[in-house]
């Protein structure tokens, strides 16, 4: 999902940045055009079902840990702030953002990424350990619009209601969307996905479908309410289609990766 895209595209972005500093003008234009062409090709492949399914527009700045990960000013994935200089997911992103069409939105911070650390146990076939850490070029300044979120460490009990947020990757959806989903029992998830579930995953949605994340929301947060605050339980990882009956969204279980994240930061 998102991790693979980051590994492929971030090199183009960093090369463009280096050319901008050290090479003649014609070289940097060529590099940027090449990056744009690659992203355009990726976008065309993702035109079907590319946004939150069954959701509605969030209240502005109600999810202050949400970020938009962007390549050459094009939204690609979501992510969540976990500390002033670290984001969990996948290179250039906008923090404190609600409306992607507004380049001067109050509270937003635009920050580049200096390093991406993907989980060594990530399996491209099974999607196990689908998580990355992004180190920012400079720390974020926390305020009412931008704040980190803690990791959910309690058991994820079935029937718990949680919320997924994201912009997707369509031009039609420019404001942050949200939708509530229900954590489903592990045995149900495994039945729906014919034994493909792993301990580092969980699924959430509705049996009849209609609510889900989709392409463009990959890597974005699934947050659950503790009774006093929201905590980060999962990241949008994979699924079959979007919002289909008996095909709930599958998420990376972050509590399984806390030790890895602590070692890498």
Q: Report the pLDDT value the prediction gives residue 216, as an integer from 0 to 100.
A: 65
Is 114 part of any domain?
A: no
Q: Report if residue 239 sits inside a domain.
A: yes
User: Tokens 């969990």, residue?
Assistant: 88
| pLDDT band at residue 74 under the 50/70/90 scheme | low
DSSP string covering 158-184: TT-EEEEEE--S-SS--B-EEEEEEEP
Q: How many domains are there within the chain?
A: 1
Q: Does 44 fall in a domain? A: no
Catalytic site residues?
92, 130, 218
Domain CATH code at residue 190: 2.40.10.10
Provide the whole-model pTM: 0.77
Element (H, E) at 80: strand 74-83
Is 215 domain-assigned?
yes
pLDDT at residue 262 in the model: 95
In a domain, 219, yes or no: yes
pLDDT on residue 49 = 43
Q: What is the pLDDT of residues 203-238, one digit of tens each?
A: 999 988 888 887 668 899 999 999 999 999 999 999
Number of H helices, E strands in the chain: 4, 14
Q: Per-residue pLDDT tens for 164-203?
A: 998 865 445 578 889 999 999 999 999 999 999 999 999 9
Q: Is residue 151 a part of any domain in this protein? A: no
Cα angle at 168 between 164 and 173, to 5 degrees? 110
Q: Where in the sequence is the domain holding 180, given as residue range(s)?
A: 161-255
pLDDT band, residue 38 (cuts 50/70/90) = very low
Q: What average pLDDT is seen over the chain?
A: 77
> Does the residue 104 lie in any domain?
no
Q: How far apart are the first and last CA of the chain?
A: 23
Cβ neighbour number for residue 25 with a 10 Å cutoff: 9
DSSP 30: H
Confidence of residue 132 (pLDDT cuts 50, 70, 90): very high
């Amino acid at each position: 999902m998102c991790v693979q895209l980051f590994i492929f595209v971030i090199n183009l972005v960093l090369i463009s940045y280096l050319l901008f500093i050290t090479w003649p003008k014609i070289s940097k234009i060529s590099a940027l055009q090449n990056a744009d062409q690659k992203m355009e090709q990726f976008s065309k492949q993702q035109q079907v079902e590319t946004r939150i399914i069954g959701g509605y527009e969030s209240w502005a700045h109600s999810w202050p840990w949400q970020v938009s990960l962007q390549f050459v000013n094009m939204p690609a994935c979501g992510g969540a702030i976990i500390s002033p200089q670290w984001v969990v997911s996948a290179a250039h992103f906008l923090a404190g953002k609600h409306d992607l069409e507004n380049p001067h939105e109050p509270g937003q911070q635009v920050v580049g990424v200096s390093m991406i650390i993907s989980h060594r146990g990530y399996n491209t076939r099974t999607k196990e350990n689908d998580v990355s850490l992004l180190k920012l070029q400079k720390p974020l300044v926390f305020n009412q619009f931008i704040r980190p979120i803690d990791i959910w460490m309690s058991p994820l009990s079935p029937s718990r209601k949680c919320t997924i947020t994201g912009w997707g990757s369509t031009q039609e959806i420019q404001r942050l969307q949200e939708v509530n989903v229900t954590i489903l029992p592990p045995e149900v998830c495994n039945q729906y996905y014919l034994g493909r579930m792993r301990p580092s995953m969980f699924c959430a949605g509705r049996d009849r479908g209609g609510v889900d994340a989709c392409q463009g929301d990959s890597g974005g947060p699934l947050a659950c309410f503790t009774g006093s605050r929201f905590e980060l339980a999962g990241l949008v990882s994979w699924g079959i289609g979007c919002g289909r009956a008996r095909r709930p969204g599958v998420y990376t279980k972050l509590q399984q990766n806390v030790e890895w994240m602590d070692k890498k930061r």
